[in-house]
Amino acid sequence: MKEELIIAGFGGQGVLSTGKILAYSGVMQDYEVSWLPSYGPEMRGGTANVTVIISDKRISSPTLHEFDTAIILNQQSMDKFESQVKPGGVLIYDTNGITRHPQRTDIKIYTIDATEEAAKRGNSRIFNTLILGGYLKVRPIVTLENVYKGLKKSLPERAWKSLPMNEEAIRIGMEIIKEVR
C-alpha cells in the first residue's frame, strides 16, 4: 500500500491540518508517513499545499512531482496540480470558486461541496474534516477508527471538545462526495 497525495488550496483553509490528521491516522495504522508542507510567505493568505505519503514500506523521496490523489480547494491549485495526477489517479475538488473545471479524462474526478455544506450548518470550522471524510470514502486507506485516533492525536488537548463535531463531519463528508466521472 502506498498513497501519494497532495492537498492544495488557500492558506487558512486547513490544508496543512487536514494533511496532518491524515498523516497521524497513518501512524495509528502502523504505516510509514511523511508530511511536507509548502512554507514561507505563501502561507499567509496565498496558496498552501501539503504532500502526504502513507505507505507500508519505508518512504524514499518525501518530495513528489506526481500524485495518486490531488485534493484541490482553489483555482490556482487546479491550474497547477491537475496535470500532476498520475493516469488512473484521483482528483477531488470543492466547486466553490472554481471557474475552470478539470479537463482530464484519464483520471477519476469527484466533487465535494464542503464550503456550501459548512455554510449551511453555520460552522466553517468543519470544512477540512468534511473534505477529509469525502477523501476517505474514495480512498479508504486507513480505518475510520484510526482516523478518529489520528484526529485526536493531531489536536492539542484543549481542542478535544471539538472531536465529536469533527468525527460527525467526516461521516457527512463521506455522504456528500459525488463522482463526476
- Asked if 6 and 81 touch (Cβ cutoff 8 Å), the reply is yes
Distance from C-alpha of 170 to C-alpha of 133, rounded to nearest angstrom: 4
Q: Which of 140, 161, 141 is nearest to 151 (CA)?
A: 161
Q: Does 55 contact other proteins by CB under 8 A?
A: no
Q: Does 36 contact other proteins by CB under 8 A?
A: yes
Stretch that binds other proteins, among 38-46, 69-77, 137-145, 170-178 (CB under 8 A): 38-46
Q: Which helix (H) or strand (E) holds 114?
A: helix 114-120
Q: Does 153 contact other proteins by CB under 8 A?
A: yes
Number of residues that bind other proteins (CB under 8 A): 22
Q: Given candidates 1, 2, 39, 160, which one binds other proteins under the rule CB under 8 A?
A: 39
Cell of 65: 512531482
For 23, 31, 66, the CA distances from 57, given in Å and listed in that order, are 15, 8, 19
Half-sphere exposure (CA, 13 Å, Cβ side) for 130? 25
Q: Does 120 contact other proteins by CB under 8 A?
A: no
What does R_g of the chain's alpha carbons equal in angstroms?
A: 15
Q: Does 37 contact other proteins by CB under 8 A?
A: yes
Report, in Å, the least distance between residue 135 CB and other proteins: 18
Q: Does 32 contact other proteins by CB under 8 A?
A: yes
Stretch that binds other proteins, among 31-39, 121-129, 131-139, 163-171 (CB under 8 A): 31-39
Q: Which helix (H) or strand (E) holds 19?
A: helix 15-28
C-beta closer to other proteins: residue 16 or 174: 16
Stretch that binds other proteins, among 63-71, 75-83, 122-130, 137-145 (CB under 8 A): 63-71
Report, in Å, the least distance between residue 59 CB and other proteins: 8
Q: Does 59 contact other proteins by CB under 8 A?
A: yes
Binding site for other proteins (CB under 8 A): 20, 23-24, 27, 32-37, 39-41, 59-65, 153-154
